[in-house]
Structures are given as structure tokens and as C-alpha cells.
Amino acid sequence: MRDLDREETYLSDRRGLALELRDLVGTGPVPTRSYPAPHAALGYGEGHFAARLSGLPDWTEEGTLFVLEGGYDLGEAAALSLLAETERVQVVKVGLRPGVEVYLSPSPLNPYRYLRFLLLATGQEEALSEVDRALLEERKRLTPEIPLEENPAKFLAYTLVERIPLLYAPFHRPLEEAAQSLFARIGKSLALTPPHSALEFFLTGLEARHEQGDPLAALLLGEGEAVRLAKEILETRVDAIAEVPAPTGSRLAQALALWYRLAWTAYYLALLYGVDPSDPEVLERLREAT
């Protein structure tokens, strides 16, 4: 097993994703003009989680519709560019495709940047400050120089290595998919997300063969009654359970802080597997194909 407290383990981070992770807060494009309210947001790819987090509706008859085109996937968002602007609604494209109004270069860490842009563009500086404070607070314990015993992301990575994480975040279900994307794009690993009826899934989906195959590690994000029930159900069914309570703060700050911790966890997981935590080439190929 590789040692996350030794320098040579970090050689597989060939492009320095640790620096991008460390310096994430405050990066990304900022609005250079004002966008008339009411606001709506549609998110694809790297912009999907941000649109869900923002709580904005996905459609508006007037004001501004932000289309976050952060995906490689066959231009779902591109099709939307056919959306004719009417006199009453402006369509503002933000993303990684040519022709957008606001450009971001691709990165698995872009969900933060899309969210930051949306919060600034909709006059929610206060909410953004709270998110940023939560991330900076998290960061104190997550960077490579913090040793294992004080670093919850390193600790979690050791729990997950050679296991399949099973994600459950009842307080904000979109976090599950966002974490699944982080584990894939940074950790180069599979993670399982439950369907809408998560507790039924936990109860029934492991009946036939929970002794076989890859061991599962349940990752319970947040707190509350649903987490307690899931723990009770999964205790006898999975190989390990990790509870990750959210820090205090707004629901938005909690969700982002957990997302940030899981981004670091996925980073350390890649190192434990000895793979590069960055992913530009492979996705560049997909971008060309779609």
C-alpha cells in the first residue's frame, strides 16, 4: 500500500492537481455585466451540479436563462443554443464550448466555479462568502502536508481503496452523482449511487450476493434520520461504513464542503492506485468525438 505521508507517492500527480485543489476558492470567471432577473439555470456536464445546487428554476419566461455548457456529452447544451432568445429572456452560455459568452477550461473542479459564477451573477455574494469560508476551513485539514492522523480525506481514501464506495447523501441527493463523477474523473474508480428509493435499494439490492465480489464501503454524507436508518440497514451488508457529517453552515455551504472533501479524497485515492489524478487527454478525445 502506498503511503500518503511520503513525498514519492505524489509523483503520479504529474500535472499538479493538488495545487488546483488547494487554490480552488476564488477561481473561475466573474460576471462583467448585470443579468436581469428573474434568473434560471440549466446545467450540463461540469455545470450540472452547480445548476442543481443553485436552487434556480430550469426555465424562465423572462429575465435571464444561464445555460452551463460544461459537458462533452453530445452537445445536449449545444442543442439548446437553438433556443431562440425572445425579447423577454436572455440566454447566457457559460462553459467550455466555442461560442460561449463566459469561458471555463475543463476541469473536474469546475462545479465550484460554475456555482460561484451563478451566485455572483444573481447577487448572492453573501451565500458565496459562506461557501468560501466553509471550503477554506475544510482546506486546513485536507492538503498533502497534513499527516494522515489529522487529515480526514487521506483517512477516507484508505477506507475506500480496493472497495467500491456506495454513496448516500439524503440531505442533498445531487451530491451523490457529483461525488460519483469526482471518484471517476479524479480517482479513476467506480462508485455506486442508489436510485430515488435509496433505503429500499439498500435493503433488497444486496440480498442475492453480498458475500461475493468487490467489497462495498458505504459513504454516508450528512446526518439525520435517513442516515441513521441507512447505517442500520447497511451495517450487516457492506464491508465498511464511513459517516461524514457536514460542517455547520447553510445547506449550500454544507454540500460544497462535503464535495470539496470528496474531491480531495478522490485525489488521494488516485495516488493510492498509482494513477494520475488529472484527466485532460482522455476527455479531449471524447470532446473531439462528440
Cα R_g (the chain), whole angstroms? 19
Question: With respect to a second copy, which residue has the nearer C-beta, 197 or 248?
Answer: 197
Shortest distance in whole angstroms from residue 150 CB to a second copy: 26
Grid look-up 435517513 returns: 226
Bond before 108 cis per omega within 30 degrees:
no
CA dist., res. 226 & res. 215, Å (int):
23
Judge whether 218 and 192 are in contact, CB under 8 Å.
Answer: no
Shortest distance, position 46 Cβ to a second copy, whole Å: 8
| CB closer to a second copy, 127 vs 269 | 269
Residue number, 177 or 243, with CB nearest to a second copy = 177
Q: Decide: 141 and 130 in contact? Cβ < 8 Å.
A: no
Q: How far is the CB of 197 from a second copy (least distance, A)?
A: 5
Cβ nearer to a second copy, comparing 43 with 134:
43
* Closer Cβ to a second copy, 246 or 270, answer by number: 270
**Pick from 72, 97, 75, 107: nearest CA to 285:** 72
Closest contact distance (angstroms) between CB of 100 and a second copy is 17
Rounded to a whole number of angstroms, the minimum distance from the CB of residue 140 to a second copy is 28
The SS3 of residue 241 is: strand
Residues 6+ apart with CB under 8 A from 63: 35, 36, 37, 38, 39, 40, 88, 89, 90
Closest CB 138 distance from a second copy, rounded Å: 22
Residues that bind a second copy (CB under 8 A): 44-46, 48, 71-74, 162, 164, 170, 177-178, 180-181, 183-185, 187-201, 203-209, 212-214, 225-226, 229, 233, 269-270, 273, 275, 279, 282-283, 285-286, 289-290
**Whole-number minimum distance, CB 176 to a second copy, in Å?**
8
- Decide: helix, strand or coil at residue 82: coil
Q: By C-beta, is 34 or 212 nearer to a second copy?
A: 212
Q: What is the DSSP track for 125-160?
A: HHHHHHHHHHHHHHHTTTSTTS-GGG-HHHHHHHHH
Q: Is the dihedral of CA 124, 129, 134, 138 positive or negative?
A: positive
- Buried-state track 162-174, b at ≥16 Cβ within 10 A, e below 16: ebbbbbbbbbbbb
Nearer to a second copy, 108 or 144 (CB): 108
